[in-house]
Structure 1
């Protein structure tokens, strides 16, 4: 390939700058649920992403992406996992419709010190926009949004639905299906998961022993899809498994051996480019890298995974409805960038803390010094002591959780 003509004093990218871009790509992949968006500066990958991009509408605007620099300020990004794809055939069973079964919103604070990853249950019954300009409002499960968007409008309709539910601007979005999950997991060499006892689920094809296992390919997909073999057999239990998986994936990607391996980095980028539908705001590699650079240094204990707060739906035990007050508090905190943490009993349905993981030792008691003010009178930085939102379910990326087998 002939060299591109460059003007002025701009120099050919150094090995260090290419490594930085690779690190950014890997970090971006992680916080879009292992299936998300990454791009390398090769023309073939760039064109694949650009050609697949779709307009998701909305009032939010995106800023020009800096070259090899983090985006200025915070952002919201939607990640959608669909259960159907023209390229997968009937490998995962015959389907006459496409459903948005995984709906995840990633929020990064303006100072790039905190992130919140919200999972919305597929069976959440809410008022939804028509997405076809009819003006009609539909009260249906969330996973019907994709189909209502029609040909080419699925991602835009899901984004419109989540915007209306949360009140947040969502300028970035990406969607993938089963094949994308398989390829992305293979690209990192598998992800470690944990079970408190053996899990056997013929419906998803998941068979894992007690303790730790490394899953990849179809087995990783089975772990993420598994519903009837975990917890109470609900979608909420499956969300708990997904949060465990994403936390483990984030920890692995942040490991230096992964970030420094050019083969793995390129594999992540290639897998993403071949298996995603991005919003037009993400068709530029520079945009992808700028988002990634805002994510890569966040403390794992400040990456909070939460399930959208729900209660049982009154007319159907297989569906759920919002808990309005708790949901309002959650998104008020997100929209105003007020960090928060979860209470001690927050572990998601179907999951539990790994008792062998241990906990950090308690901080030593302050030692009094003559003439010094009492330690209890010392001012505290509210940003360092985030409030607890009681009632939310989830975990931080620093926590190791394990899936509990079906208890029904």
Structure 2
């Protein structure tokens, strides 16, 4: 049996240096931000420039054939499943401090329905204790399967192991994947001219040296990174609270991308596409610009109400000798049965431990998007599928909901 790397220890205490967990925002780059890339907006020069950067030879996923690129620039045909992971090693920017472990502390799954009318983004808590798949070790053998926290999957086989582990957990086939680090957050927020978030109570987190006063705050560059990293200054100080805070940011980003000054602006669309290309390590199936553009065209017209961010159903517990987060199997079965059957979902619970609805402006209406020939064909005689209501114990929000962060003062 091949040698097994030392299992990273669970990390619950406060660290003496900033922890790069906020790369969750980077999910924006590969998943939601892909919305902003359109063949109409990215001109010929931009497409040429990006195509010289997007190359073949990406990461090969376990047990999957390489997805073929679409024959032309049209909306992607059928459902889309993309896994995006963010590593906390800070390899992309030494300013955040490097760590001995190489962990996927952010893991998200984007599912776009086959009719391109709804999108669901599932966030998996980093301390979720689940079976980790047996994955190739790069030396002709395999790391053994184990029960551990999901964020060690990157250590035991890289991006392909994260994908295989999530496939086993959810029963979904995931042909597309991307791994990212820090600088995409900076590039993304800069490209759209900043992301405006609502702060219900001021955030003062001395651990990462981040302060944000109450009210509407527009975040650009490093401030966006810090906002996504902050944990002890949000809600109850848990990683689950941080997930809801990140979902609030992602929802605001989706809304910003859909504004007239961003969507359809050739300069901003190119910058968004460039941020995706420059700051992600992608699967072979995403090493093609045509594929990325086709996926963007498939999702760009989904309404805010039909973009749902949901935390994987779970609760605190102990397993495999570790304290962490355990799957709530009944609720998870409802969620993933719906997604496997390509049914939209409806939230009935709260927004999460770290956020609350904005009392002054709780919902936002999607802008009217002109019809395009690239939109997925629909049959007027076929009614839209009914949404599956998730249990009230499952937290999340839609992009149509304005949420505010519950800040707090946290000492370092």
Scaled by the length of structure 1, the TM-score of the pair is 0.81
Of 151, 154, 159, the residue aligned with 1:143 is 151
SS of the equivalent of 1:203 reads coil
User: Does the aligned pair in 1 maintain the 2:198–2:217 contact within 8 Å?
Assistant: yes
> Structure 2 matches for 1:117-156, cutoff 5 A?
117-132=121-136, 133-134=141-142, 136-149=144-157, 154-156=158-160
Q: State the alpha-carbon separation in 2 of the partners of residues 339 and 187 from structure 1.
A: 31
SS of the equivalent of 1:338 reads coil
Q: Work out whether 1:402 is the aligned partner of 2:401.
A: no
Q: State the alpha-carbon separation in 1 of the partners of residues 192 and 211 from structure 2.
A: 21
User: Does the aligned pair in 1 maintain the 2:30–2:178 contact within 8 Å?
Assistant: no
Across the aligned residues of Structure 1 and Structure 2, the Cα RMSD in angstroms comes to 2.6
Cα drift, residue 261 of structure 1? 2.1
Deviations 1:242-286 (CA, angstroms, capped at 9, x unpaired): 110111000010111112322211211222221110111111111
Q: State the alpha-carbon separation in 2 of the partners of residues 219 and 80 from structure 1.
A: 21
User: Does the aligned pair in 2 maintain the 1:59–1:169 contact within 8 Å?
Assistant: no
Q: Which runs of 5+ in 2 are unaligned?
A: 1-26, 366-381
Q: Classify 1:394/1:257 alpha carbon distance in 2 versus 1 (closer, same or farther; 3 Å).
A: same
Deviations 1:336-358 (CA, angstroms, capped at 9, x unpaired): 01222011x32112111110014
* Count of residues in correspondence between the two structures: 356
Cα drift, residue 317 of structure 1? 8.3
SS of the equivalent of 1:196 reads strand
Q: Work out whether 1:251 is the aligned partner of 2:255.
A: yes
User: Does the aligned pair in 2 maintain the 1:119–1:307 contact within 8 Å?
Assistant: yes
> Structure 2 matches for 1:6-405, cutoff 5 A?
32-34=31-33, 42-50=47-55, 53-59=58-64, 62-89=67-94, 91-132=95-136, 133-134=141-142, 136-149=144-157, 154-314=158-318, 319-343=324-348, 345-358=349-362, 383=384, 385-390=386-391, 391-405=393-407
Q: State the alpha-carbon separation in 2 of the partners of residues 384 and 77 from structure 1.
A: 22
Q: Classify 1:245/1:29 alpha carbon distance in 2 versus 1 (closer, same or farther; 3 Å).
A: closer
Q: State the alpha-carbon separation in 2 of the partners of residues 35 and 258 from structure 1.
A: 13
Cα drift, residue 308 of structure 1? 0.2
Tell me whether 53-62 or 194-203 shows the greater mean CA deviation.
53-62
Deviations 1:14-51 (CA, angstroms, capped at 9, x unpaired): xxxxxxxxxxxxxx966715599969653442232316
Q: State the alpha-carbon separation in 2 of the partners of residues 51 and 37 from structure 1.
A: 23
User: Does the aligned pair in 1 maintain the 2:192–2:272 contact within 8 Å?
Assistant: yes
Aligned to 1:375: none
User: Does the aligned pair in 2 maintain the 1:123–1:319 contact within 8 Å?
Assistant: yes
Deviations 1:52-93 (CA, angstroms, capped at 9, x unpaired): 72112333663441422111111100111111243422x112
Larger % of helix: which? 1
Q: State the alpha-carbon separation in 2 of the partners of residues 348 and 31 from structure 1.
A: 24
Q: State the alpha-carbon separation in 1 of the partners of residues 30 and 304 from structure 2.
A: 11
Tell me whether 252-261 or 126-135 shows the greater mean CA deviation.
126-135
Q: State the alpha-carbon separation in 2 of the partners of residues 184 and 359 from structure 1.
A: 24
Cα drift, residue 159 of structure 1? 0.8
Q: Classify 1:60/1:104 alpha carbon distance in 2 versus 1 (closer, same or farther; 3 Å).
A: farther
SS of the equivalent of 1:78 reads strand
SS of the equivalent of 1:331 reads helix
Larger radius of gyration: 1
Q: Classify 1:125/1:280 alpha carbon distance in 2 versus 1 (closer, same or farther; 3 Å).
A: same
